[in-house]
Structure 1
Amino acid sequence: MSLVINHDKLALSEVKGIIHSLGLAILCFGLLRIAARVLLVRILLALLIGLEFFLQLTYQTSMSVSIVMSLLNAPMSEAVSFINQYGWALLLALISMGLLITLPIRPSPLLTVTSSALGLGYLLIPLLLQLPGIYRDEFYVDYLNKGTSRGHSTTFSQIEYSLHKLSPRFPMFTSVIALLDSATFLGMQIDSHSSWQQVSRGDNAPHLLVLGIGESLRAANLSLYGYERNTTPQLASLQRSQNLQVFNQVYAAGTNTWNSVPAIMTHSQDLPDMSKSIIHLAKDAGYETFWLSNQAALGQWDFSITSLANQADHQFFVSTDAGGSQYDEVLIPELASAIASSDKPKLIVLHFYGSHMTFSDRYPAKFAHFNSANSELDQYDNSVLYTDYIQQQIINLVTKHKGQYLYFADHGLGEPNGPIALKHDVRTPPDIDSLRVPMFTTPSITNHLNSAQAVPLFHFECIFTRWADISAKEISDNNFCEKAINAEHLTFLDANMKVQTQLLPAKLSAKLTLK
Structure 2
Amino acid sequence: MRKNSQSTENPEGAATWTFAISRNVLIMAVALWLMLTMNIPFWRDVWQGVGGWSNDNSLFLITLPVLVWLWLYLLLSLLAWGRLTKAILGMLLLVSAAASFFMSSYGIVIDYNMLTNVLQTDSAEALDLFSWGMLGWLFTLGVVPALVVSRVRLIARPWARELGFKLASMVLGLACLGGIVMSNYQSYASLLRNHHELRLLLTPSNVAAAVHGYSKRQFATPTPLQLVGADAYQVKPVGGTARPKLTILVVGETARAANFSLNGYTRQTNPELAKEDVISFANASSCGTATAISVPCMFLDVGHDHYKDSMAKNREGLLDVLQHAGVAVLWRDNNSGCKGACDRVPNDDVSHLQIPYLCEGSECHDEVLLSGLQTYLDTLDNDAVVVLHMKGSHGPAYFKRYPPAFEKFTPVCRDNQLDRCSAESIVNAYDNSLTYTDHVLAQTIELLKGNAERFDSAMFYMSDHGESLGENGLYLHGLPYAMAPSEQTHVPMIVWLSAGLQQRSGIQASCLANHRDVAYSHDNLFHSIIGLMDVHTSAYQPERDLFRQCLPQHTASVDNGRQAKGVN
Q: Tell me if structure 2 keeps the 8 A contact 1:196–1:473.
A: yes
| Cα distance in 2, alignment partners of residues 166 and 375 from structure 1 | 31
Distance 1:363 1:170, change over 3 A: closer
Q: Find the residue that maps to 2:129 and give its secondary structure.
A: helix
Q: Tell me if structure 1 keeps the 8 A contact 2:288–2:481.
A: no
After the TM superposition, which residues 190-205 of structure 1 pair with which residues of structure 2 at under 5 Å, given as runs? 194-203=227-236
Find the partner of 1:75 among 122, 133, 137.
122
Q: Tell me if structure 2 keeps the 8 A contact 1:327–1:363.
A: yes
Q: Which residue of 2 aligns with 1:40?
A: 84
Q: Tell me if structure 2 keeps the 8 A contact 1:59–1:425.
A: no
CA deviation after TM superposition for structure 1 residue 207, in Å? 1.2
CA deviation after TM superposition for structure 1 residue 246, in Å? 0.9
Find the partner of 2:495 among 403, 426, 441.
441
Q: Find the residue that maps to 2:473 and give its secondary structure.
A: coil
2:427 pairs with 1:377 = yes
Distance 1:345 1:106, change over 3 A: closer
CA deviation after TM superposition for structure 1 residue 342, in Å? 2.2
2:458 pairs with 1:393 = no
Q: Which residue of 2 aligns with 1:468?
A: 533
Distance 1:26 1:130, change over 3 A: closer
Q: Which residue of 2 aligns with 1:412?
A: 466
CA deviation after TM superposition for structure 1 residue 251, in Å? 0.6
Match of 2:295, as an amino acid? V
Match of 1:9, as an amino acid? V
Distance 1:471 1:96, change over 3 A: farther
Q: Tell me if structure 2 keeps the 8 A contact 1:296–1:320.
A: no
2:67 pairs with 1:23 = yes
Q: Which residue of 1 aligns with 2:419?
A: none
Q: Tell me if structure 2 keeps the 8 A contact 1:27–1:116.
A: no
Q: Tell me if structure 2 keeps the 8 A contact 1:27–1:115.
A: no
Match of 1:287, as an amino acid? V
CA deviation after TM superposition for structure 1 residue 314, in Å? 4.4
- CA deviations 1:19-67 (Å, max 9, x no partner) are 6345324544687699998453455456456525344324444432223
Q: Which residue of 2 aligns with 1:455?
A: 520
After the TM superposition, which residues 89-104 of structure 1 pair with which residues of structure 2 at under 5 Å, given as runs? 89-95=137-143, 98=146, 101-102=149-150
Q: Tell me if structure 2 keeps the 8 A contact 1:198–1:472.
A: yes
Q: Which residue of 1 aligns with 2:391?
A: 353
Distance 1:383 1:117, change over 3 A: same
**Any unmatched runs of 5+ in structure 1?**
132-138, 141-163, 298-304, 487-511
Match of 1:82, as an amino acid? L
Match of 1:307, as an amino acid? G
After the TM superposition, which residues 99-498 of structure 1 pair with which residues of structure 2 at under 5 Å, given as runs? 101-102=149-150, 120=174, 123-125=177-179, 167=199, 172-188=204-220, 189=222, 194-203=227-236, 207-238=245-276, 243-268=277-302, 269-271=306-308, 272=311, 274-297=314-337, 305=338, 307-319=340-352, 325-357=363-395, 358-372=397-411, 373=422, 374-402=424-452, 403-426=457-480, 429-443=483-497, 445=509, 447=511, 450-476=515-541, 482=543
| Cα distance in 2, alignment partners of residues 120 and 416 from structure 1 | 39
Q: Which residue of 2 aligns with 1:490?
A: none
- CA deviations 1:113-136 (Å, max 9, x no partner) are 9997896467445777999xxxxx
**Any unmatched runs of 5+ in structure 2?**
1-36, 54-59, 156-165, 186-191, 355-359, 412-421, 498-507, 552-568
- CA deviations 1:194-216 (Å, max 9, x no partner) are 43242122336961111000111
- CA deviations 1:83-102 (Å, max 9, x no partner) are 13844544454247527735
Q: Tell me if structure 2 keeps the 8 A contact 1:256–1:426.
A: no
| Cα distance in 1, alignment partners of residues 110 and 85 from structure 2 | 19
Q: Find the residue that maps to 1:276 and give its secondary structure.
A: coil
Q: Tell me if structure 2 keeps the 8 A contact 1:291–1:315.
A: yes
Superposed CA RMSD in Å reads 4.1
CA deviation after TM superposition for structure 1 residue 408, in Å? 0.4
| Cα distance in 2, alignment partners of residues 75 and 471 from structure 1 | 37
Which segment is superposed worse, 356-365 or 2-11?
2-11
Which segment is superposed worse, 401-410 or 114-123?
114-123
Distance 1:201 1:279, change over 3 A: same
| Cα distance in 1, alignment partners of residues 450 and 539 from structure 2 | 34
Match of 1:40, as an amino acid? L
Match of 2:299, as an amino acid? M
Match of 1:433, as an amino acid? E
Q: Tell me if structure 2 keeps the 8 A contact 1:408–1:440.
A: yes
Match of 2:351, as an amino acid? V
| Cα distance in 2, alignment partners of residues 183 and 384 from structure 1 | 36
Match of 1:414, as an amino acid? S
- CA deviations 1:329-376 (Å, max 9, x no partner) are 111123222211221211100011011122111111111111145322
Q: Find the residue that maps to 1:475 and give its secondary structure.
A: coil
Q: Tell me if structure 2 keeps the 8 A contact 1:250–1:437.
A: yes
Match of 1:366, as an amino acid? A
2:69 pairs with 1:4 = no
Match of 2:273, as an amino acid? L
From the CA coordinates, give the structure whose radius of gyration is larger.
2
| Cα distance in 2, alignment partners of residues 226 and 77 from structure 1 | 33
- CA deviations 1:443-479 (Å, max 9, x no partner) are 2556578321111213421222233332210224xxx
Q: Which residue of 1 aligns with 2:9?
A: none
Q: Find the residue that maps to 2:275 and give its secondary structure.
A: helix
Which segment is superposed worse, 413-422 or 445-454?
445-454
| Cα distance in 1, alignment partners of residues 62 and 261 from structure 2 | 43
| Cα distance in 1, alignment partners of residues 291 and 329 from structure 2 | 21
Match of 1:56, as an amino acid? M
CA deviation after TM superposition for structure 1 residue 165, in Å? 11
CA deviation after TM superposition for structure 1 residue 319, in Å? 3.2
- CA deviations 1:130-159 (Å, max 9, x no partner) are 99xxxxxxx99xxxxxxxxxxxxxxxxxxx
Q: Find the residue that maps to 1:83 and give its secondary structure.
A: coil
Q: TM-score, normalised by structure 2?
A: 0.67
Q: Tell me if structure 1 keeps the 8 A contact 2:332–2:389.
A: yes
Q: Find the residue that maps to 2:128 and give its secondary structure.
A: helix
**Once the two structures are aligned, what percentage of the paired residues are identical?**
21
Distance 1:250 1:103, change over 3 A: farther
| Cα distance in 2, alignment partners of residues 35 and 312 from structure 1 | 43
Match of 2:405, as an amino acid? K
Q: Find the residue that maps to 1:398 and give its secondary structure.
A: helix
